[in-house]
């Protein structure tokens, strides 16, 4: 058989609901669920007419449709019927009502054995490599659903351990340690570095006495003698003798003798027999020399004498001897005032300034009452002390006399003048769309004559009597089962079916009031259906059109049958459907 999992359901038995022919591949059962509501599942083996020595047939079921209670035998091929144990190898037919039973058959156990045989030998003492268990020394497939053989695991681990080396490098030189057979040793240098190993930790430190040239900065306390040159900064206390040159900054206390030159800053108190030891000479600094030297009193005096402040103003210049003189910044009465305190000199304006101002002055003169020089406006003097009146005759572009009643001011293109309004007839009335009549003088009559389309723009027409009228017939079509109806094009339409209608979409349905659309539907030569459960209004969701008594709507059948269907909308809501059917 096949290495597959087939299903069992204890004590399930039912009957055929349809006939199974000798070459049939599907059949409907009376039930596919037992009394405890357990469904039978595929794949499984069933036996038909199990108690008949001449009609008994074992079959393999590959699929079950629970809702229709239909089973498919195998993959639809005859090889899945007439299994071993059947009364015949072909030609068996089974009538409706025949018994069919769920049993544990030889084929079920053969399937189990096939699944076991795929991975174990017959004795059960060894696995069969290549299926669930792989014999793959490199583990190259990297599978998450397979096992490996003992030999593959050992070969893979051995290859990984042998391949693992530790590559290392120092400030100079490189090396390699075979982790499978060698030991990585970290050795110190005598009187410079010492190492100590314990468990998984290696400790690297300095010995108690170091013999080495130190180039760079030392941070911390140095206790002991330093022999040789010390180049770099020392931050911390240095206790001991230094024999050699110290180049760099020593921040901290230095206890001991310094034998050699010190190049750099000494920060702290120097305690010695004398500031300058025997044989050390003082160097006098010169102007501009900022190096650290031992200065003499003469140099300091010369610097004091040479320090002058040179300054200049918008006009003139001056010099202040900083050793003997004071630099004074003086203001001008009623213009500038100055004030000095501590290290700050403040320069400002007094509360009252007496000065000629040349340029723009922003602000108000609080005491000004008139213009210093009066100005003339249209022949009238103005000094700002009072309002003025300008006679109209003083205006050069106005030619006026005293106006009389009913006159207006009119500009004639050159001057403003008095003018009198005149009355007269309308010069012309022209008839517009759907209007006739008009004229150019006297009484004018306009006649309304509607002989073309008039758009009322959704406005209400009251007390209207209609006579001899017709409605627009909208040609309605369908596409992929969808009918689209735009009420802006009319309220009646016709369609001849060419496919099943599954969706009806209405647009431009008035949102206030009652509106209708009547559709004449003519049946196709092949009967078509019209669904009313997927109706949309103005782009809304699908709704079902309401019918009298909820009876629904079924399109009349027969080629050329005509149904007259009216959809009524209230405030663009769910349509109410009324149908007059089967006109012929």
Q: What is the DSSP string of 395-446?
A: -TTEE--PPPTTEEEEE-SSSEEEEE------S-EE--TTEEEEESSSS--E
Strand pairing report for 13-15 and 99-102: antiparallel
- Confidence at residue 577, expressed as pLDDT on a 0 to 100 scale: 97
Structure tokens at 282: 């003082």
Q: Helix, strand, coil proportions of the chain in percent (round to 5)? A: 10, 35, 60
- Confidence at residue 74, expressed as pLDDT on a 0 to 100 scale: 72
Strand pairing report for 482-486 and 503-507: parallel
Residues whose CB is less than 8 angstroms from the CB of residue 261 and which lie 6 or more positions away in sequence, other chains included: 245, 246
- Confidence at residue 268, expressed as pLDDT on a 0 to 100 scale: 61
User: What letter would DSSP give residue 122?
Assistant: T
Structure tokens at 289: 């020399």
Q: Give the dihedral sign, CA 213/217/222/225.
A: positive
Q: H or E stretch including 447?
A: strand 446-448
Rounded CA-CA distance 228/243 in Å is 6
Rounded CA-CA distance 287/298 in Å is 12
- Confidence at residue 214, expressed as pLDDT on a 0 to 100 scale: 64
DSSP per position, 450-476: --S----TT----S----S----EEE-
- Contact (Cβ atoms closer than 8 angstroms) between residue 149 and residue 133: yes
| Burial tier of 343 (Cβ tally within 10 Å: 0-12, 13-18, 19+) | exposed
Rounded CA-CA distance 202/89 in Å is 82
Question: Which residue, among 509, 524, 506, 510, has the nearest Cα to 561 in the 3D structure?
Answer: 524
Rounded CA-CA distance 254/221 in Å is 10
The long-range contacts involving 381-390, CB below 8 angstroms and separated by at least 24 positions, are none
Per-residue pLDDT of the chain (584 residues; tens, 9 = 90+): 466 677 777 779 999 999 999 989 999 999 999 888 999 998 888 999 999 999 999 998 989 999 999 999 876 555 678 888 899 999 899 999 999 998 765 555 655 556 566 666 665 667 766 566 787 877 877 887 678 888 878 877 777 666 567 788 988 899 887 777 788 899 988 888 999 999 889 999 888 777 776 666 767 777 777 777 777 777 777 777 777 777 777 777 777 776 777 676 666 666 655 455 555 555 555 666 655 554 455 555 555 555 678 888 888 998 888 777 888 889 888 888 899 998 898 898 887 787 776 766 666 666 667 888 888 887 889 888 889 888 766 766 666 667 777 777 777 777 778 788 666 556 677 777 667 777 776 677 877 767 666 666 666 777 778 887 788 899 999 999 999 999 999 999 999 999 999 999 999 999 999 999 999 999 999 999 999 999 999 999 999 999 999 999 999 999 999 999 999 999 999 999 999 999 97
Structure tokens at 362: 């922003």
- Total number of residues shown for the chain: 584
- Confidence at residue 173, expressed as pLDDT on a 0 to 100 scale: 92
Q: Which residue, chain included where needed, has tokens 């300091």?
A: 300
User: What letter would DSSP give residue 286?
Assistant: -
Strand partners of residue 430:
438
- Confidence at residue 465, expressed as pLDDT on a 0 to 100 scale: 81
For residue 302, give the 3-state DSSP assignment.
helix
Cα(first)–Cα(last) distance of the chain, in Å? 64
| Burial tier of 537 (Cβ tally within 10 Å: 0-12, 13-18, 19+) | buried
Tell me the pLDDT tens digit for each residue of 492-529. 999 999 999 999 999 999 999 999 999 999 999 999 99
Rounded CA-CA distance 250/264 in Å is 8
Rounded CA-CA distance 248/267 in Å is 12
Rounded CA-CA distance 234/218 in Å is 5
Phi, psi of 52, rounded to the nearest 5 degrees:
-105, 125
Residues whose CB is less than 8 angstroms from the CB of residue 12 and which lie 6 or more positions away in sequence, other chains included: 34, 38, 40, 101, 102
Residue 449 CB neighbour total at 10 angstroms: 10
- Contact (Cβ atoms closer than 8 angstroms) between residue 1 and residue 107: yes
Q: Which residue, chain included where needed, has tokens 């050793």?
A: 323
For residue 161, give the 3-state DSSP assignment.
helix
- Confidence at residue 274, expressed as pLDDT on a 0 to 100 scale: 47
For residue 201, give the 3-state DSSP assignment.
strand
Phi, psi of 250, rounded to the nearest 5 degrees:
-115, 110
- Confidence at residue 209, expressed as pLDDT on a 0 to 100 scale: 76
Q: Which residue, chain included where needed, has tokens 């997927």?
A: 534
- Confidence at residue 289, expressed as pLDDT on a 0 to 100 scale: 62
Question: Which residue, among 98, 119, 135, has the nearest Cα to 20 in the 3D structure?
Answer: 98
- Contact (Cβ atoms closer than 8 angstroms) between residue 237 and residue 221: yes
Question: Which residue, among 196, 180, 177, 200, has the nearest Cα to 188 in the 3D structure?
Answer: 196
């Amino acid at each position: 058989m096949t290495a597959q999992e087939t299903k069992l359901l204890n004590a399930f038995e039912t009957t055929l609901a349809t006939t199974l022919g000798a070459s049939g591949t599907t059949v409907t059962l009376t039930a596919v669920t037992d009394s405890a509501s357990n469904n039978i599942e595929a794949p499984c083996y069933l036996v038909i007419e199990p108690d008949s020595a001449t009609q008994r047939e074992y079959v393999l079921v590959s699929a079950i449709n629970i809702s229709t209670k239909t089973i498919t035998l195998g993959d639809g091929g005859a090889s899945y019927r007439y299994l071993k144990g059947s009364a015949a190898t072909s030609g068996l037919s089974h009538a409706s009502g025949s018994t069919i039973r769920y049993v544990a058959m030889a084929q079920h156990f053969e399937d189990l054995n096939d699944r076991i045989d795929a991975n174990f030998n017959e004795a059960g003492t060894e696995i069969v490599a290549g299926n669930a268990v792989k014999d793959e020394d490199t583990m190259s497939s990297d599978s998450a659903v397979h096992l490996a053989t003992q030999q593959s695991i050992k070969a893979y681990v051995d290859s990984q351990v042998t391949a693992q080396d530790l590559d290392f490098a120092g400030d100079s030189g490189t090396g390699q340690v075979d982790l499978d057979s060698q030991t990585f040793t970290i050795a110190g240098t005598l009187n410079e570095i010492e190492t100590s190993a314990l468990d998984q930790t290696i400790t690297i430190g300095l010995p108690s006495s170091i013999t080495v040239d130190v180039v760079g900065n030392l941070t911390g306390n140095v206790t002991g003698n330093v022999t040789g040159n010390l180049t770099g900064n020392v931050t911390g206390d240095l206790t001991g003798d230094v024999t050699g040159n110290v180049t760099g900054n020593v921040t901290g206390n230095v206890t001991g003798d310094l034998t050699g030159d010190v190049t750099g800053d000494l920060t702290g108190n120097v305690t010695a027999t004398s500031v300058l030891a025997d044989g050390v000479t003082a160097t006098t600094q010169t102007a501009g020399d900022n190096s650290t030297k031992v200065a003499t009193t003469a140099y300091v005096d010369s610097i004091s004498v040479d320090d002058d402040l040179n300054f200049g103003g918008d006009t003139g210049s001056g010099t202040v001897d900083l050793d003997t003189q004071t630099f004074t910044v003086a203001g001008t009465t009623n213009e500038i005032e100055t004030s000095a305190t501590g290290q700050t000199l403040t320069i400002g304006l007094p509360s009252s300034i007496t000065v000629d101002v040349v340029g723009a002055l922003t602000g108000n003169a609080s005491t000004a009452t008139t213009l210093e020089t009066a100005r003339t406006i249209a022949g009238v003097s103005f000094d700002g002390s009072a309002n003025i009146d300008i006679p109209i005759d003083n205006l050069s572009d106005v030619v006026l006399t005293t106006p009389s009643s009913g006159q207006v001011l009119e500009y004639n293109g050159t001057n403003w003048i008095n003018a009198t309004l005149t009355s007269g007839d309308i010069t012309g009335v022209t008839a517009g769309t759907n209007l006739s009549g008009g004229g150019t003088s006297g009484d004018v009559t306009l006649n309304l004559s509607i002989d073309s389309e008039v758009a009322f723009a959704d406005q209400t027409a009251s007390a209207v009597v209609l006579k001899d009228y017709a409605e627009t017939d909208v040609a309605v079509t369908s596409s992929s089962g969808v009918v689209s109806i735009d009420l802006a094009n009319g309220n009646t339409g016709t369609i001849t079916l060419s496919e099943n209608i599954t969706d009806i979409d209405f647009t431009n349905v008035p949102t206030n009031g009652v509106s209708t659309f009547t559709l004449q539907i003519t049946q196709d030569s092949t009967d078509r259906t019209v669904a009313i459960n997927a109706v949309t209004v103005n782009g809304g969701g699908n709704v079902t059109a309401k019918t009298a008594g909820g009876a629904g709507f079924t399109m009349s059948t027969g080629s050329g049958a005509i149904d007259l269907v009216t959809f009524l909308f209230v405030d663009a809501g769910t349509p109410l459907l009324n149908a007059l059917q089967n006109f012929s």
